[in-house]
């Protein structure tokens, strides 16, 4: 009888541990904090940026949010520092109709766009989906295009020399070999819809 009780207890403990492991939140991706990383946006502050265009960037419920652009062209937040080789980790939420993106190595701060930067796109409803969410517009297509609308997502972007790799929610979407833009600020875009950034961090390589 005593042996049966011990077996039953062991089984109960094992099931309890398994249940805890099953419901525990998945660990966040490595490489978002620690030595060498600079947090550009977190749940408390939007950080310091140069603004191009006009929209209602603001902090709301632990995220940097924009949802009402008032300038004719898309609005941007550009880092005050230029970056050459780096890793970016970004957590973002986009509405289904959002047009946004993470911009790399921008060259002309008066004419920010996909012709003067590498644009890692967030645009589920782009008419040409080959350069939609997960793609680098004009440079690297994505097929099939993943959807980011209506949920929190992670971008992990590595730019080292001519090699640029984009990973969306743990899945590599593009691997670009191109040396057109060598160095420049990184940026966040609001073109339409609702975009939220809960965390953005960068690590020079």
Is position 44 within any domain? Answer: yes
Is position 79 within any domain? Answer: yes
Is the pLDDT at 4 greater than 70? The verdict is no
Is position 123 within any domain? Answer: yes
Is position 73 within any domain? Answer: yes
Is position 8 within any domain? Answer: no
- Predicted confidence at residue 163, as pLDDT, reads 98
> What is the pTM (predicted TM-score) of this model?
0.84
Is position 30 within any domain? Answer: no
- Predicted confidence at residue 34, as pLDDT, reads 78
Q: What is the mean pLDDT of the chain?
A: 88
Domain that residue 59 falls in: 37-204
The number of domains in the chain is 1
pLDDT digits (tens, 9 = 90+) for 54-96: 999 999 999 999 999 999 999 999 999 999 999 999 999 999 9
CATH of the domain at 157: 2.60.120.560
Q: Give the tokens for residue 145.
A: 């295009």
Is position 19 within any domain? Answer: no
Q: Report the alpha-carbon distance of residue 12 to residue 8 in Å, rounded.
A: 6
- Predicted confidence at residue 32, as pLDDT, reads 67
């Amino acid at each position: 009888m005593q042996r049966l009780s011990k077996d039953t207890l062991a089984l109960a403990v094992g099931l309890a541990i398994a249940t805890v492991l099953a419901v525990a939140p998945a660990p966040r991706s490595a490489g978002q904090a620690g030595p060498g990383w600079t947090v550009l946006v977190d749940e408390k502050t939007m950080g310091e940026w140069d603004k191009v265009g006009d929209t209602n960037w603001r902090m709301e419920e632990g995220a940097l949010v924009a949802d009402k652009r008032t300038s004719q062209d898309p609005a941007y937040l550009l880092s005050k520092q230029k970056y050459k080789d780096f890793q970016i980790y970004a957590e973002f939420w986009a509405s289904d109709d959002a047009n946004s993106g993470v911009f790399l190595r921008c060259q002309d701060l008066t004419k920010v766009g996909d012709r003067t930067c590498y644009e890692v796109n967030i645009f589920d409803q782009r008419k040409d989906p080959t350069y939609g969410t997960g793609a680098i517009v004009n440079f690297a297509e994505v097929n099939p295009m993943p959807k980011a609308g209506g949920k929190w997502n992670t971008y992990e972007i590595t730019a080292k020399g001519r090699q640029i790799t984009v990973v969306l929610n743990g899945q590599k979407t593009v691997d670009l070999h191109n040396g057109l833009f060598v160095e420049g600020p990184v940026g966040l875009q609001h073109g339409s819809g609702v975009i939220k950034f809960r965390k953005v961090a960068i690590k020079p390589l």
